[in-house]
Amino acid sequence: MTAARLSVSALCAAGLLAALAVPALADEKPTKAQWTIKYRQATFTLLAWNIGPISSMVKGEIPVDQARLALHAKRLAELSPMILEGFPADAKTGAPNKAKPEIWDNFADFRAKATALDEATAKLAKVAPGGDMKAIAAGLGEVGNACKSCHQKYRAD
Ligand code: ASC
């Protein structure tokens, strides 16, 4: 092997080592619990993202855009049933999060609260395209109450 070839393979070896080492340091593969906690937090982020404009339209802070309102409401109804999947018993801890351990001591109650949100968001999604702002405000109120009743019991501040 020539000196030039040797240095090329030495460089390749160094590059390969760097490629193997850097992701492990900079972007480590999450544990199952970390990934699950990230999933459920993402779900709540998306819920909040979509509630925001509906709430602002109901309060008159921004103009009512009927199509957007209906779209956000439809998304809420699609997102709500994704919540429970983020709460398996093996993801109580493993990353910073606000889920109280009581969730897993009272899982039937927790599930009932998640189902209440499913129902409230489905109802809101049903009235949203009609443009009846009174019905939409009432529907949003029910969604907010469903959020709150679960947060009060099961979310740490
Ligand atoms: C939101 C949000 C919550 C709920 C809650 C409803 O948009 O981030 O936690 O609605 O405020 O009472």
Give me the number of domains the chain comprises: 2
Centroid of ligand 1 to alpha carbon of 12 (angstroms): 53
Pair 12, 80 in one domain:
no
Mean pLDDT of 54-83: 98
Q: Which amino acid is at 41?
A: Q
Question: At 119, which CATH number?
Answer: 1.20.120.10
Q: pLDDT value at position 27?
A: 75
Please give the number of the atom of ligand 1 that sits closest to the Cα of 51: 7
- Which residue has a Cα nearest atom 6 of ligand 1? 144
- Which residue has a Cα nearest atom 8 of ligand 1? 48
Q: What is the pTM of this model?
A: 0.83
pLDDT tens by residue, 6-19: 454 444 344 444 44
Pair 61, 12 in one domain:
no
* CA gap 77, 71 in Å, rounded: 10
Mean pLDDT of 57-77: 98
Centroid of ligand 1 to alpha carbon of 49 (angstroms): 10
Percent of the chain beyond pLDDT 90? 82
Q: pLDDT value at position 19?
A: 45
**Which range of residues forms the domain containing residue 65?**
31-154
Helix, strand, coil percent values for the chain (each to nearest 5):
80, 0, 20
Pair 50, 20 in one domain:
no
* Mean residue pLDDT across the chain: 89
Centroid of ligand 1 to alpha carbon of 71 (angstroms): 18
pLDDT tens by residue, 92-139: 999 999 999 999 999 999 999 999 999 999 999 999 999 999 999 999
Mean pLDDT of 73-87: 99
* CA gap 97, 79 in Å, rounded: 19
Beta carbons of 67 and 134 less than 8 angstroms apart: no
